[in-house]
Amino acid sequence: MTSKNTARESGQFHLAGTTAVTRLGYGTLQLTGPGGWGYPKDPDKSMRVLRRAVDLGVNLIDTADSYGPEVAENLIREALYPYAENLVIATKAGFTRPGPKRWVPVGLPEYLRQQAEMSLRRLNVDCISLFQLHRVDPRVPLEVQVGTLKELQDEGKIRHIGLSEVDIQQLKRAQRIARIDSVQNLYNLGNRVADPLVDYTERAGIGFIPWHPLATGALAGHDSPLSAMAKKRNVAPSQIALAWLLQRSSTMLPIPGTSSISHLDENVAASEISLTNSELQILNGVRVY
């Protein structure tokens, strides 16, 4: 079994230079029902996974009001409250959920404010550690959406502001309105479209939270370099993929999600893997978009 506090082997990152998080976090979408809709069949199992993550030293829990919707936040409170002093719960707003597998962006100021207030209530906190704009609503000026988050920050209701699925120009526009402490975009070993954004956030000292971090696509094929490397080390290909992310950038904060304690243990154990320069060169040289 993975040892206690293994996640700390991934190192720490300080949001805005102040809030310390383990670089390997945990994402909660898979704790909800199929399609991110409703409660799971076994809520107690989901809560055991959350407790196990914290027991392993993970202190960055990523969630969203739209996961369920509301389900993931409720499970976090039921499983982990009262929270450990160093626990950082990062939640998001900006999607409404008309049904299973349906996600519609809504960036109206009154909606974002309402969702922040509801997340505060569900999580039972006075201030949300990291509040992220889940998607930029193309119908509402970006400056208005980020400005709403800045107002909430000024009111003491959120500590750090993050964005999700933005490009460099959008990030720069947002930075003129507020300090942006994290960016969450699709990024993994098999999809590196966001490479320029990863480099930008590292230079700026902004945490980069890759969603879908374990997707490896064709790189996980039977004869692939990734599979061969994993077999040689006697680890899972997904562990190599996580180790690669952690070594890709000093501000990278992977949040692999799972509803299984055994998979959670496996993911966290990737914190202890250090890829050699030759292994990194092999993985860096294989591009699949």
The pLDDT of residue 179 is: 98
Residue 39 bears catalytic tag: no
Cα–Cα distances in Å, from 205 out to 18, 242, 286? 12, 20, 27
Q: Which domains does the chain have, with CATH numbers?
A: 6-284 (3.20.20.100)
Q: Splitting the chain (289 residues) into consecutive groups of 10 residues, what average pLDDT does each group show? A: 79 98 98 95 97 98 98 98 97 96 97 98 98 98 98 98 98 98 96 96 98 77 84 94 97 97 96 96 79
The pLDDT of residue 33 is: 95
Q: Where are the beta strands (DSSP E) in 110-230?
A: 128-133, 158-164, 182-186, 207-211
The pLDDT of residue 286 is: 78
pTM score over 0.85: yes
Residue 238 host element (H or E)? helix 237-248
Pick from 140, 131, 37: which is nearest to 92 by CA? 131
The tokens for 266 are: 């496996």
For 275, residues 6+ apart whose C-beta sits below 8 A from its C-beta are 240, 243, 244, 247, 283
Q: Count how many Cα atoms sit within 13 Å of the Cα of residue 288 in the half-sphere of its side chain.
A: 15
**Helices and strands, counts by H and E, the chain:** 10, 11
Pick from 242, 199, 205: which is nearest to 220 by CA? 242
The pLDDT of residue 209 is: 98
Are 92 and 74 in contact by the 8 Å Cβ rule? The answer is: no
The pLDDT of residue 89 is: 98
Cα–Cα distances in Å, from 69 out to 26, 64, 242? 18, 8, 28
Residue of 67, 83, 200, 289 marked active site: 67
